[in-house]
Amino acid sequence: MKMVFEKRKNVSIGAQFLVPIISFLISLLLSGIMLAVFGSNPFTTFAAMFKGAFGSMNGFSETLVKAIPLMLTGLGVALAFKLKFWNIGAEGQLTMGGVATAWVALFWGNGIQGPLLLVVALLAGCVSGALWAGIPAFLKTRLKVDETLVTLMLNYVAILFSEYLYYGPWRDPKGYGFPGSAPFPENAWLPRIAGRAHAGLFFAIALALILWIVLRRTRWGFEISIIGASPKAARYQGISVERTIMLTMLVSGALSGLAGACEVTGISHRLQQGLSLGYGNTAIIIAWMSQLNPLAVPFVSLIMAGIMVGGDQVQLMMGLPSAVGTVIQGLILFPMLAGSLFTEYRVRWIKADRKPVCVEGGA
């Protein structure tokens, strides 16, 4: 018997659902083994994580707090990945979104009255995130510069820039040396719904729905799927690949920018250290686990946020490193990637003595 892989004509729907779930279970199993090796009981640890994240109203609202930026950045990354544009710069786009929002909230309060200040601040965050994502998109479409590295490098630049602002010119003079800007006026605060969870949740869910519909129903969505499959084929069909990449990246950056805008207006009410807790990196995992489907992003984000909060909880309660959460997250993609073979290929067993005469591929 000989194992042969055959390309599927259509991606298997069942496998699309099963692979992420099985991957999650495998990652729990592997991290459980790791915990046992380091002398902790994996069952009590996971139970404590789950209880910490979903077991109480307080814990759940903290999970939502982390889920909101994850949903928005996850949507942004998934959108870019659909084009095979490897935007790993959500972290920087989020940060620049937060910076622009803080700028409006801190310095435009005299000119803009009432809740309009919040609206303008949020919009500024979107625009800033979009422009930050526009840099790698411009370099890619005009000069063919590899986007992976540019988006990543811009993360460091954005974080250092925000650091400069809150340590330097924007530092709160009444902050007793605390690294952060002055607090925003209250009309630039995003309303909260439960605990610290804020209205950004509605933006995230609405945008997931809108994106899902837009990708299925509009010409833009159609163009994205064609370019993602083959830019060459897209060109033959008269699609302007460069323009679509540019537009998609602007939207992708705007989503991450909004995440940053919501963080500063909904949570910290100022620009300060620790604006992003690695949301942009987790967004990569979320996008891939959702199989780039916007509708799946909110659910996967909630699980990932739960792992983050659970990790913090076991640190507080059991003295375990909070990085347990990061390890579980980091382990999810391995089985996921291994499993993608089964969504795209079909395994067939062929008798060894007979040569496969014709194994027809789907592409």
Rule CB under 8 A: is residue 242 a binding residue for other proteins?
no
Phi, psi of 348 (to 5 degrees): -130, 145
Contact residue for other proteins among 99, 211, 254, 284 (CB under 8 A)? 284
Other Cβ atoms within 10 Å of 153 Cβ, number: 13
Contact residue for other proteins among 256, 281, 290, 291 (CB under 8 A)? 281
78, 215 Cβ separation under 8 angstroms: no
Identify the residue whose tokens are 């496969």: 356
180, 273 Cβ separation under 8 angstroms: yes
- Alpha-carbon dihedral of residues 173, 174, 175, 177, nearest 10 degrees? 60
**Tokens at 255, concatenated:** 């989503």
Residue span binding other proteins (CB under 8 A) among the ranges 10-18, 103-111, 195-203, 320-328: 320-328
The CA distance from 248 to 227, in Å, is 11
Number of residues this chain uses to bind other proteins (CB under 8 A): 51
116, 139 Cβ separation under 8 angstroms: no
**At residue 261, what is the residue type?**
A
**Cα–Cα–Cα angle for 58, 64, 70, nearest 5°?**
150
Contact residue for other proteins among 187, 277, 327, 346 (CB under 8 A)? 327
Give the per-residue contact string, 79-118, with other proteins (x = CB under 8 A; - = no).
Answer: -------x-x------------------------------
Instruction: Pick between residue 188 and residue 283 the one whose CB is nearest to other proteins.
Output: 283
Minimum distance of other proteins from residue 28's CB (angstroms): 14
Instruction: Pick between residue 168 and residue 238 the one whose CB is nearest to other proteins.
Output: 168
Residue span binding other proteins (CB under 8 A) among the ranges 10-18, 42-50, 121-129, 280-288: 280-288
Rule CB under 8 A: is residue 285 a binding residue for other proteins?
yes
Instruction: Pick between residue 7 and residue 9 the one whose CB is nearest to other proteins.
Output: 7
Q: Is 196 helix (H, G, I), strand (E, B) or coil?
A: coil
The CA distance from 361 to 358, in Å, is 9
Give me the residues that bind other proteins (CB under 8 A), please. 4-7, 38, 86, 88, 139, 143-146, 148-150, 152-154, 156-157, 160-161, 163-164, 167-168, 281, 284-285, 288, 321-324, 326-327, 329-331, 333-334, 336-338, 340-341, 345, 356, 359, 361, 363
